[in-house]
Each structure stands twice: as structure tokens, then as C-alpha cells.
Structure 1
Amino acid sequence: MAEPSIPSVWAREPVKRASGLNRERIVAAALKLLDEEGLEALSMRSLGKRLDAGATSMYRHVTNRDELIELVVDEVYAEVEVPDAAGSEGWRASAAAAARSLRDMALRHPWVTGVLGQVGLSYLGPNLSRASERLLAVLGGAGLDPREADHAVSAITAYVVGTVTSETAWLSLVAESGKGERELLASLQQVHEHLLETPAAKEHNDPARHREEGFTFGLDLVLDGLEARLRRRS
């Protein structure tokens, strides 16, 4: 069989063995390492130590670190849910739920924000493809043509990834400080008095609520734009 024009781990059948190391075990260990230590800690060597496996046995299943990341990204994409466009709210409720599900997944696995922007044509994993195809179907059913639906999926995904990247950076700072969100924000406000002058600071001093409201506001803007486009067409 001819080699695929775009090399991809999905174009190869997993190596099957009766016992010992396999692709599933490698992916599970890599995900655990990434969740515990972050993207920079992942290497074939560090993972091999966790699995008590040599380089030769590792490379039988995964060619390099990039392929490993591709496999783990698809693994966490299994957590992203895209509901059907049913009920009175239809496509908008489904798209909003998908966006929130993607955000929740990224907050559970903060390392993923460092690679989601790289996900492109070579990332053809089944879970990522399933989520994309379901959202495309939802938006296509709303009245967007295939090209518009594709752009809309990209716009929604870009908004979520951009927002959650800032969120995870802030939450990482919180974790490193050893303080809670409110406590850290209060200490920052003491140093940077201009933070107290923002409308959000005056309204409430709850950073978790502020993050949630900010995400909802931005998502509504994206969906308002899509809804206005559909209304103009109808």
C-alpha cells in the first residue's frame, strides 16, 4: 500500500500484542503526565521512564513526540460533547453547549491550550473529527452552506481557545501563588490600584464569576453574529 501523502498516526494500524506495551497504555500514561506536569515535561524519554519501557519498544507504537501529542489531543476530545439542535433554541443552544464543553475540557487539561492552535489537517483523529462533524451538521442545519459552516466552526473554536488560553494562564498563576483566586486578586489590587477602577471590580470581587460572565458575553457576540447572518438570508 502506498504511503499517505500527509504522514499521520491515524493512517497506521496500532501494533497489537498479547500483553505488555500498547498504544492505549502509552496514551493513558502520556495524558496523566501532561495533566500532572504540563506540556514541557512530555518527552519520549520521560514517558518511557514512567512506563518502564525502552525507546525501541516505545517507537514500535508511536513514531515521535508530535504523534504522541496528536493521539492525546484526540483522547481528550472524547470529552467534548456536541448535542443535537433540538428544542426551541435549536442550533444556537447546541453551538453554545459545544463551546462550553470544549472550554471545560481545556480547563480540565490546561496543557491542551498549547497545542489546540496547531490542530490542522494532519489531526484526523476520530474524536476530534466526530466533534467537528457534529457541529458542522448543526450549523449546516441552521442554514449555513458548507463553506460558511466550516468558517463558523473555526470562529467558535478560535474564540474558545483564545479565551481559555488566558484563563489557564491566570489559573496557573493562582496555583503557583498558593492562594485562592479572590485572595490573589486582592493582593494584586493592592499593588495595582487601577484594577480597582474597572467596572467589573466595582460590581463584584469574584474572579471565577467574572471569568464565567466574560466567556458568556464573548460567546454571545459570536453567536449573535451568526444569527444575524442567518436572519439576513431568510
Structure 2
Amino acid sequence: MTNKDELVALAADQVLGHAFAAAPHPEEGADAELRALAIAVFDALDRHPWAAFHVNTPPTLANALHLLDRVGTLVARTGLPAEQHFAVSTAISYYITGVSAQIVAPRATAGAATSRDAFLTQTAESGEKLDPADYPFLTRTTTELRDHDDRDQFTTGLDLLLDGLSSTADPRPSA
């Protein structure tokens, strides 16, 4: 171990590893397993928000590689053409870790004394001060920002990705 950053990255990689252990393996098919894996990773990072920014730094740690490999293996089972496996697998993997970091990590950087509700209230109040002519969407959605559920927000985007995958893949995937 040469520095603190490496130690933190290894600890974050362990959090990711615990997510694999918690992820169920549904018998419903690759889409269901992708969803279960993604939610297990989100939940693990939600329990350990400090880890969210570090799970892909560097992207060569064992469990970060395992996540991409597992996602890629599941994408291959969907019947998607082989030439699309890499692009789709990396998009899903980066969605899982990147969006988790964007949703979960701000709570960790806001400080231990700041609750999720206080953080969202502060963010919404900042949004309310914006000019609606310049930021029509942001000013219109401050109420939803205050009251939304992070996990629901994550799964909404995940379901859009997986629905797109399902509509593109061959309904008769190869074994």
C-alpha cells in the first residue's frame, strides 16, 4: 500500500464485493439478474456512501472488474448481437456505479452532520432561487427533489436501460 487513496479504493472495492454476495440470482433471466445486481450495488453504496466515488478508482480493482464482467456475461445472455455487448455492458456498468455515486455520494461530501433531508432541502432551496426563464425544468421540479426516493430514482433509470436492452435483443438468446 503506497498511500491513503489506494487504501480507500481497496476498501471501496470490498464494499462492491459485498454487493455481489448480496445480489440474488433470479431464475427469471438475464434482465432480472442485471436488475438485481444493479440494485444490490446501489444498496451497498447507499449503506457506505463514502465508497461511491471510489469503486472505479482505479478501474482495475478485482470487484470493479468482476462487476463489468458479470454485467457483460448477463448482456451476452440476452440475445443482443455480439458486436453490441461491449458498448451496452459498459453503459450499464457505468450507470450502476456512476449514477449511484451521483445520487449517494453528495450526502457523504456534505458532511456527517448533514442528513439526507437537510441536503435535499438545501439543494431545492438553491434551485428555487434560480431564474425560471433560464432554468425552467430545475425550478419546476424542486418539490420532487425534496421528496423523491433515491432508490426509486435509480431504478427508474435502470428500468429504462433494461427495457431498451430487451427491445433490442433477440427474443431467442443463444445458450
Same fold, TM exceeding 0.5? yes
> May I ask how many residue pairs the two structures share in their alignment?
164
The residue correspondences of 1:61-210 to structure 2 (distance < 5 A) are 62-65=1-4, 67-69=6-8, 71-81=10-20, 82-84=23-25, 86-87=27-28, 90-120=29-59, 122-123=60-61, 125=62, 127-144=63-80, 148-172=84-108, 175-176=111-112, 178-179=114-115, 181=117, 183-186=118-121, 189=124, 192-193=127-128, 197-199=139-141, 201=143, 205-207=146-148, 209=149
Distance 1:91 1:64, change over 3 A: same
Q: Which runs of 5+ in 2 are unaligned?
A: 131-137
Which structure's relative contact order is higher, taking Cα pairs within 8 Å and 6+ residues apart? Answer: 2
Q: Tell whether the 8 Å contact from 2:41 to 2:96 is kept in structure 1 after alignment.
A: yes
Q: 1:171 to 1:141 in 2, by over 3 A?
A: same
Cα 1:94–1:233 change in 2 (3 A) is closer
Q: Counterpart in 2 of 1:49?
A: none
User: Which deviations, in whole Å up to 9, do the C-alpha atoms of 1:194-224 show, x marking residues without a partner?
Assistant: 68952462x69524x2x23321221122112
* Structure 1 residue 70 displacement after superposition: 5.1
* Pair 1:172–1:72, CA change in 2 (3 A): closer
TM-score normalised over the length of structure 2: 0.68
The 3-state SS of whatever aligns with 1:118 is coil
Q: Aligned-pair distance for 1:186?
A: 4.3
TM-score (structure 1 length as normaliser): 0.54
| Uncovered stretches (5+) of structure 1, i.e. residues with no partner | 1-61
Residue 41 of structure 1 corresponds to: none
Kept in 1, the 8 Å contact 2:50–2:108? The answer is: no
Tell me if structure 1 keeps the 8 A contact 2:92–2:161. Answer: yes
Aligned CA distance change for structure 1 residues 180 and 226 (closer, same or farther; 3 Å):
closer
Other-structure match for 2:135: none
Q: For 1:128-152, what per-residue CA distance to the aligned partner results, in whole angstroms no more than 9, with x for missing partners?
A: 4544443333222222355533332
Q: CA RMSD in A?
A: 3.5
Paired residues of 1:136 and 1:150 also in contact (CA < 8 A): yes
Structure 1 pair 197–101 and aligned structure 2 pair: CA distance change class (3 A): same
